[in-house]
Amino acid sequence: MVEATYCLRERVPEKIGLIRRYLLEALCRFGPCSPAQLDAMLGLGEDVIARTLQEMEAITPGLACHGGAFAANDEVRRLLADGQFSRVVTHRRAFLVNGLTDRLLPINFWKLHEDWRLYPNPGSPGGRFRKASGQPTEISVKTLPLS
């Protein structure tokens, strides 16, 4: 069996929610503002505004914080005009392949057969495999030179 894990990175377009839209529009219209100033304008709660702006700063190009005041540039105006922004989502995936038949196996295969699973010995990668319990087995790794 071969277990392969990989990460899939996907750019996901999202509609801008109302709170985020109001915050970005206020920053575009009134220039750099602190969360307290935005709360005075919008009445959403300073803690909600601060938390939302910090989250958005990480994923929104053109939104930056300088000295406690957030500012937006032309890139943010374009995002507002489009009505969407994108974020990158990373998905960790895994699959199992039967080495004899080259067929995929269910990912939960090991849950039902954990006692069959063998692990390489970290102290001796070319030596005997170990069971999940750590006990050594008679199975060892043999590498062949490529010809």
Together in a domain, 21 and 74: yes
- Residue 12 counted as domain residue: no
Domain CATH number, residue 36: 1.10.10.10
d(CA 34, CA 136): 62
**Cα dist from 55 to 52, 65, 108, whole Å:** 5, 12, 35
pLDDT band at 126 (very low <50, low <70, confident <90, very high): confident
The pLDDT tens digits of the residues spanning 17-34 come to: 888 888 999 999 998 999
- Assess if residue 145 is contained within a domain: yes
Q: Which domain holds residue 119?
A: 113-147
In a domain, 96, yes or no: no
Q: What mean pLDDT is predicted for residues 38-66?
A: 90
